[in-house]
């Protein structure tokens, strides 16, 4: 009995070893760790799956994406550092959290820069978007494509924000980025920078009163469980960006780079459609979950817009007047062509 068991165990071990060697010699799949901050069931998770499937298919199984969501590999900022150091291969996250590495990324944080998603697509996918993306290379990162995070809206637990003055003293979590801190201080809130991965707990424990994110994220991260009021502000359009470690990218063949780039573009097109479809019905969903929702009156929306205009000069100074002007021109062109 004992001998038989041993023999079986040995046979299994040998077979496993054999398969392992065959695999190592014949297939040698490249394993790519791809981290992201939201849940698997979010728009970010769904598009990551599309990307992973495309990479596997296009490479004939030679490249494999190991997708790791819910910030299990770290916050946006931590993952960016892991990519730069070469400890992680890929990620997707907010451009806003990259500003500490590449200051030009702050251009996307300009309040009310885009009026609609079509303007955002035109500018992000055009020469200005590419120019900003290319700036990452000297810092050890390669940007592939922009995905849509979306237009950001305000939630909080203190009161329905119906006028500018209602922002007074609201302790509001913002992304770790000076433009966001300045913007919300300008509006009268007490802006507290925190990584997204700590946000749900901070809201639940009332360490902060509120936050701002697109409808999709308010839904997928279940912020409706810990936030009562939602104010439709659409104060800024937030892009996500798909990143590769430059150290890793430089070690890939041209064909392998093309597999990643093509799959990134497919995932982008899927992601934008999926995100927009979800956002279109999200308000009704959030209402159904019990959130109290209000639209700002046009005159109050204008007051906020005017106040926020005060941060534009500092954004322009930070990103450079040339990039500021090029971006304004690209937006004007997109707006005119509609
Ligand atoms: C996810 C974040 C998130 C962003 C934020 O990692 O931090 O509020 O909107 O999407 O990048």
Q: What is the CATH number of the domain that holds 53?
A: 3.40.190.170
- Residue 14 domain-assigned? no
- Residue 225 domain-assigned? yes
Tens digits of residue pLDDT in 280-336: 999 999 999 999 999 999 999 999 999 999 999 999 999 999 999 999 999 999 999
Q: Pick the range with the lowest mean pLDDT from 17-26, 68-77, 298-307.
A: 17-26
The CA R_g of the chain, rounded to the nearest whole Å, is 22
Q: Is 58 in the pocket of ligand 1 (CB under 6 A)?
A: no
| Confidence band for 21, pLDDT divided at 50, 70 and 90 | very low
How many domains does the chain contain in total?
1
Predicted pLDDT of residue 217: 98
Give the torsion sign (CA, 109, 111, 116, 118): negative
- Of ligand 1's atoms, which has the minimum distance to the CA of residue 175? 7
Element holding 22 (H helix, E strand): helix 2-26
- Residue 181 three-state SS: helix
Predicted pLDDT of residue 66: 98
Domain coverage including residue 184 = 29-336
Predicted pLDDT of residue 13: 53
* pLDDT score of 23 more than 90: no
Q: Is 93 in the pocket of ligand 1 (CB under 6 A)?
A: yes
Q: Is 275 in the pocket of ligand 1 (CB under 6 A)?
A: no
> Do 61 and 27 contact (CB within 8 A), yes or no?
yes
- Residue 37 domain-assigned? yes
Tens digits of residue pLDDT in 208-253: 999 999 999 999 999 999 999 999 999 999 999 999 999 999 999 9
Predicted pLDDT of residue 29: 85
Q: Which of 149, 216, 235, 271 to mutate to test the pocket of ligand 1 (most atoms within 8 A of CB)?
A: 149
Q: Is 80 in the pocket of ligand 1 (CB under 6 A)?
A: no
User: Of residues 14 and 49, which shows the higher confidence score?
Assistant: 49
Closest CA to 316 of 108, 96, 107: 107
Q: Which of 155, 240, 279 to mutate to test the pocket of ligand 1 (most atoms within 8 A of CB)?
A: 240
- Residue 18 domain-assigned? no
Q: Pick the range with the lowest mean pLDDT from 3-7, 171-175, 252-256, 333-337.
A: 3-7
- Of ligand 1's atoms, which has the minimum distance to the CA of residue 37? 6
> Do 210 and 172 contact (CB within 8 A), yes or no?
yes
Spacing, Cα 149 to ligand 1 middle (Å): 8
- Residue 326 domain-assigned? yes
* pLDDT score of 7 more than 90: no
* pLDDT score of 27 more than 80: no
- pTM, two decimals, is 0.92
Tokens of 198: 């700590």
Q: Find the mean pLDDT for residues 264-286.
A: 97
Q: Is 38 in the pocket of ligand 1 (CB under 6 A)?
A: yes
- Residue 240 three-state SS: strand
- Residue 104 domain-assigned? yes
* pLDDT score of 67 more than 80: yes
* pLDDT score of 18 more than 50: no
Tens digits of residue pLDDT in 113-163: 999 999 999 999 999 999 999 999 999 999 999 999 999 999 999 999 999
- Residue 15 domain-assigned? no
Q: In sequence order, which residues have a C-beta less than 8 Å from that of residue 324 and are 6 or more positions away?
A: 107, 315, 316
* pLDDT score of 22 more than 70: no
Spacing, Cα 43 to ligand 1 middle (Å): 12
């Amino acid at each position: 009995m004992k001998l038989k068991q041993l023999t079986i165990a040995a046979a299994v071990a040998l077979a496993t070893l054999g398969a392992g060697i065959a695999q190592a010699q014949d297939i040698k799949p490249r394993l790519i760790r791809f981290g992201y901050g939201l849940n698997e069931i979010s728009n970010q998770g769904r598009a990551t799956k599309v990307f992973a499937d495309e990479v596997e298919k296009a490479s004939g199984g030679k490249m494999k994406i190991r997708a790791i969501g819910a910030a299990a590999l770290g916050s946006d900022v931590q993952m960016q550092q892991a990519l730069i150091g070469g400890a992680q291969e890929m990620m997707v996250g907010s451009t806003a959290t990259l500003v500490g590495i590449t200051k030009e990324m702050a251009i996307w944080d300009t309040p009310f820069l885009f009026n609609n998603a079509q303007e955002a697509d035109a500018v992000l996918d055009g020469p200005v978007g590419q120019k900003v993306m290319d700036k990452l290379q000297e810092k050890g990162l390669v940007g592939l494509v922009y995905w849509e995070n979306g237009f950001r809206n305000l939630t909080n637990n203190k009161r329905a924000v119906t006028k500018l003055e209602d922002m007074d003293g609201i302790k509001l979590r913002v992304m770790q980025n000076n433009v966001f801190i300045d913007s919300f201080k300008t509006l009268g809130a007490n802006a507290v920078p925190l990584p997204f991965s700590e946000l749900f707990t901070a809201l639940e424990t009332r360490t902060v009163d509120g936050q701002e994110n697109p409808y999709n994220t308010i839904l997928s991260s279940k912020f409706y469980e810990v936030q009562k009021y939602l104010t439709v502000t659409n104060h800024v359009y937030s892009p996500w960006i798909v990143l590769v470690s430059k150290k890793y990218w430089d070690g890939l063949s041209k064909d392998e780079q093309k597999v990643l780039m093509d799959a990134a573009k497919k995932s982008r097109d899927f992601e934008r459609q999926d995100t927009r479809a979800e956002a279109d019905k999200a308000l009704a969903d959030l209402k159904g979950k019990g959130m109290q929702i209000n639209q700002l009156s046009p005159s109050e929306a204008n007051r906020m817009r005017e106040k926020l205009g005060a941060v534009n000069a500092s954004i322009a100074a930070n990103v450079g007047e040339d990039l500021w002007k090029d971006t304004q021109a690209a937006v004007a062109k997109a707006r005119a062509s509609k």
